[in-house]
Amino acid sequence: MSQPAQPTPTPPASPLPDAVHRLVEVPGGRIHLVEQGTGPLVLMVHGFPESWYSWRHQLPALAAAGYRAVAIDVRGYGRSSKPREIPAYRMLAHVADNVGVLSALGEETAVIVGHDWGSPIAANTALLRPDLFTAVALLSVPYSPRGALRPTEAFTMLGGAEEFYINYFQEPGRAEAEIEPDVRGWLAGFYAGLSGDAKKSPSEADPRSDATSPSGQGALPLFSVPRGGKLSERFPVDPAPSPWLTDADLDFYADEFERTGLTGGLNRYRNVDRDWEDLAAWQGAPLTQPALFIGGELDAPTNWMADAIKAFPVTLPGLSASHILEGCGHWVQQERPEEVNRLLLDWLRVLPAPVGAP
């Protein structure tokens, strides 16, 4: 078994002074992670455009409850490796990173938790390595097995007369040119537009609702781009301050992306068809480990993937519970930290011990 990685110095002005920052070696390079506590390992995987920091409320809560809580910077983010090649961000590479983190920390098994893009990364990690990842919690994005339709074709249909945001993100450099002139402003608009503070009704969070689509084809306004336009054209105008996202929080994210750029995170979107090809052998495969799902009532992915939630009895047979948080938007664990912490801990406490555990 690999020896635990040696801690690196905590960066200046760390928002979690009790946490330990590490750089661990994995086959694809290095992963930066932040950990607190001792006990069974809970590995947390963030989404776009975030960082380990999106789990800042969960790290101390899990540590206090007797868990070794670890939040990573996904490859392409923070101090983790940032390969130049787009295929280096395929799903199989993210799965390998998570396996490498487990080994570098000297652990044999872990519970994995993911939000946004971190949710399918966590789900596929558990799907491909059930021997290592014994339970999985998914936030915002429900589990949906690999289907028959190529993803970019499906997203083209979803966008209708406009361009669905995932298709908009496909061309290297295009979204970067929109974001980089004002990283902080773009992030503020993106975070605000997807939060519960935007006060969207459930129907407005569903891109299949033609009544809310400027294209008349059902695309959620914030998730569709006018032909030749920019995603930021759909951001809220002068959004009110969010109680869950302080100026200091926004500064942290903006500082990270001013330093690293957004290409690493965007490259995840540029691999959706490659993932579909790589995972052909797992088409329709259920995820059988004990599972938990937490979504927001006003969270767009939770709403437009309602059919995936309905399919949980087949696709997620080990599901313990599915929770939809009233009035909550997309940034589930940040908008409702106390509620998410309670649901996670209640679920973790009743998980069966891994096979071979003392």
Residue 16 shares a structural domain with residue 99: yes
Structural domain of 256: 151-267
Q: How would you class 252 by CB atoms within 10 Å of its CB: exposed for 0-12, middle for 13-18, buried for 19 or more?
A: middle
Residue 211 shares a structural domain with residue 116: no
Most distant CA atoms of the chain, gap in Å: 59
Query: Does residue 272 fall inside a structural domain?
Result: no
- pLDDT confidence of residue 239: 76
Known catalytic residue: 299?
no
Residue 190 shares a structural domain with residue 334: no
Residue 307 shares a structural domain with residue 179: no
Number of compact structural domains in the chain? 2
Grouping H, G, I as helix, E, B as strand and the rest as coil, residue 117 is coil
Residue 13 shares a structural domain with residue 141: yes
CB atoms within 10 A of CB 171: 12
Residue 202 clears pLDDT 90, i.e. is over it:
no
Helix (H) or strand (E) holding 325: strand 319-325
Known catalytic residue: 330?
yes
Active-site residue identified among 97, 116, 197, 278: 116
**Nearest-angstrom CA–CA distance, 115 and 141:** 7
Query: Does residue 2 fall inside a structural domain?
Result: no
Using alpha carbons, select from 24, 37, 35 the residue that is nearest to residue 99.
24
Task: Specify the CATH number for the domain of residue 199.
Answer: 3.40.50.1820
Residue 205 clears pLDDT 70, i.e. is over it:
no
Residue 177 shares a structural domain with residue 57: no
Query: Does residue 61 fall inside a structural domain?
Result: yes
- pLDDT confidence of residue 224: 84
Query: For 237-246, 307-316, 318-327, 338-347, which range has the lowest pLDDT when averaged over its residues?
Result: 237-246
Give the CB-side neighbour count of residue 200, counting CA atoms within 13 A.
28
Query: Does residue 245 fall inside a structural domain?
Result: yes
Instruction: Look up the pTM and report it.
Output: 0.91
Which has more pLDDT, 212 or 55? 55
